[in-house]
């Protein structure tokens, strides 16, 4: 991560997140990794979004952070747990005012008649909170991915890539091994 930031890679915290719905259909989207806390990978979202419904149905996830410009990726398998309200409140308070308003204005993943409707809701929320702090909506929070497998991938010549895996074998112990490319 530090190397990708140092190399000024666009959206270095972009992480592909895969979830599974109640019909075992896989869905994938990009979320932004907002921290590594308590050995967990943290991202935030609307709790009424499709991804949240899927996470409530099946807590197992897979995620990939890929930095093609430096030839590296991190692959994560784990399960999710919602962050506590204090952490969600704190992170929400660090977002730009416009992003806070956007969290209130967007009914994430639901059908939208047109962009004009969204902008109108944004302006209504902006007016409602004019000259006031914006509280975190109750329908907005974060998730921690508790990993049970992490793979570090480094691209190499002739497709002889390095693949180093850490697999959790109990509450505190991890086993490290190398995979063929």
Give catalytic residues, as residue numbers.
159
* Sign of the torsion formed by the C-alpha atoms of 31, 36, 40 and 46: negative
What one-character-per-residue DSSP string does the chain give? -HHHHHTT-SSTTEEEEEEE-TT--EEEEEEE--EEETTEEEEEEETTSHHHHHHHH--EEEEEEEEGGGTEEEEEEEEEEEPPHHHHHHHHHHS-HHHHHHHHH--TTS--S-HHHHHHHHHHHHHHTTTSPPPPPTTEEEEEEEEEEEEEEE--GGG--EEEEEEE-SSS-EEEEE---
């Amino acid at each position: 991560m530090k190397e990708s930031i140092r190399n000024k890679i666009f959206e270095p915290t972009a992480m592909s997140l895969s979830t599974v719905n109640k019909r075992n259909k896989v869905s994938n989207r990009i979320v932004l990794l907002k921290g590594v806390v308590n050995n967990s990978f943290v991202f935030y979202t609307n709790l009424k979004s499709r991804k949240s419904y899927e996470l409530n149905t099946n807590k197992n996830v897979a995620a990939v952070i890929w930095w093609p410009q430096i030839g590296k990726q991190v692959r994560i398998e784990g399960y999710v747990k919602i962050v506590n309200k204090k952490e969600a409140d704190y992170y929400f308070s660090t977002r730009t005012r416009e992003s806070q308003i956007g969290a209130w204005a967007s009914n994430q993943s639901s059908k939208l008649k047109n962009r004009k409707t969204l902008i109108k809701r944004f302006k209504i929320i902006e007016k409602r909170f004019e000259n006031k702090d914006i509280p975190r909506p109750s329908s907005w929070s974060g998730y921690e991915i508790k990993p049970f497998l992490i793979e570090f991938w480094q691209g190499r010549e002739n497709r002889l890539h390095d693949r180093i895996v850490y697999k959790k074998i109990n509450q505190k112990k991890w086993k490290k091994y190398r995979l063929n490319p």
